[in-house]
């Protein structure tokens, strides 16, 4: 040990600690994925660990993507509600936003042209901020009226093409109509249903996150 090190035995430990702190500070932060949605993505009726955001984060981790999934779902929210709050619900550190709105528009019979305009407004705001987007649709059943269903179902692929964003066509694909994956209301996924949705959506979100790193 040098004479200086002998005189200042704590100096070496201090410098080593400072170096470790610098390495920690320089480590890249996990990308933030924000889910802007309604009761399905908010996890209505489920614990936080069983809700879609936590399930999506776990599914991404399994695919080697260490993202933090932030919940921004509001039960009962329509596309108009999402447009009104996108500025503060999707924080500035968001790398990718999963936009999953429209189910309540469908239930309320909102004019598909209005739903499309609202979703377009959301995508425009996110694009202007440089936030990546994954657009998640919901399928209108023919029983609601063939013309309405056709116009509504065309919203999501049309916007995905317009904004060149990835599309997951139907959030309830493989879950809707399956009692084993739904809560007693027959509408909202249970824990297994939320996991099914998260597992199916994870590859699309993972690809979008990797494209923004």
From 2, 38, 39, 77, active-site residue = 39
Question: What pLDDT, on a 0 to 100 scale, did the predictor assign at position 11?
Answer: 54
Q: Reply yes or no on whether 188 is catalytic.
A: yes
Which residue's structure tokens are 């995905």?
A: 160
From 38, 79, 89, 188, active-site residue = 188
pLDDT-above-70 percentage for the chain: 87
In tens, the pLDDT along 162-186 reads: 999 999 999 999 999 999 999 999 9
The structure's pTM equals: 0.86
From 2, 47, 164, 185, active-site residue = 185
Note whether 35 and 69 are within 8 A (CB): yes
Tokens of 183: 């809560």
- Cα R_g (the chain), whole angstroms: 22
Annotated domain spans of the chain: 1-29, 31-212
Q: Reply yes or no on whether 105 is catalytic.
A: no
Note whether 141 and 105 are within 8 A (CB): no
Question: What pLDDT, on a 0 to 100 scale, did the predictor assign at position 171?
Answer: 97
Pick from 177, 202, 171: nearest CA to 42: 171
d(CA 142, CA 148): 8
Question: What pLDDT, on a 0 to 100 scale, did the predictor assign at position 68?
Answer: 97
CB atoms within 10 A of CB 87: 12
pLDDT over threshold 50, residue 20: no
Question: What pLDDT, on a 0 to 100 scale, did the predictor assign at position 13?
Answer: 55
Tokens of 69: 């999934």
Cα–Cα distance list, 192 to 34, 66, 185, 203 (Å): 21, 22, 15, 18
Note whether 39 and 75 are within 8 A (CB): yes
Superfamily of domain 31-212: SGNH hydrolase (3.40.50.1110)
Q: What are phi and psi of 32, to 5 degrees?
A: -95, 130
Q: Reply yes or no on whether 89 is catalytic.
A: no
């Amino acid at each position: 040990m040098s004479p200086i090190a002998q005189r200042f035995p704590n100096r070496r430990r201090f410098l080593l600690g400072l170096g470790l702190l610098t390495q920690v500070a320089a480590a890249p932060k996990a990308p933030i994925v924000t889910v802007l949605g309604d009761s399905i993505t908010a996890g209505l009726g489920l614990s936080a660990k069983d809700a879609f955001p936590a399930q999506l984060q776990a599914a991404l981790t399994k695919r080697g993507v260490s993202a933090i999934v932030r919940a921004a779902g509001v039960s009962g929210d329509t596309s108009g509600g999402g447009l009104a709050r996108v500025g503060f619900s999707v924080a500035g550190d968001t790398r990718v936003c999963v936009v999953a709105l429209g189910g309540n528009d469908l239930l309320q019979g909102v004019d598909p042209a209005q739903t499309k305009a609202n979703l377009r407004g959301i995508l425009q705001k996110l694009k202007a901020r440089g936030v990546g987007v994954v657009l998640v649709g919901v399928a209108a059943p023919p029983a609601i009226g063939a013309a309405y269903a056709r116009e509504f179902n065309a919203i999501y692929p049309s916007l995905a093409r317009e904004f060149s964003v990835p599309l997951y066509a139907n959030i309830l694909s493989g879950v809707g109509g399956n009692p084993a994956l739904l809560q007693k209301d027959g509408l909202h996924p249970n824990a297994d249903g939320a996991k099914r949705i998260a597992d199916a959506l994870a590859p699309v979100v993972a690809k979008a996150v990797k494209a923004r790193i």
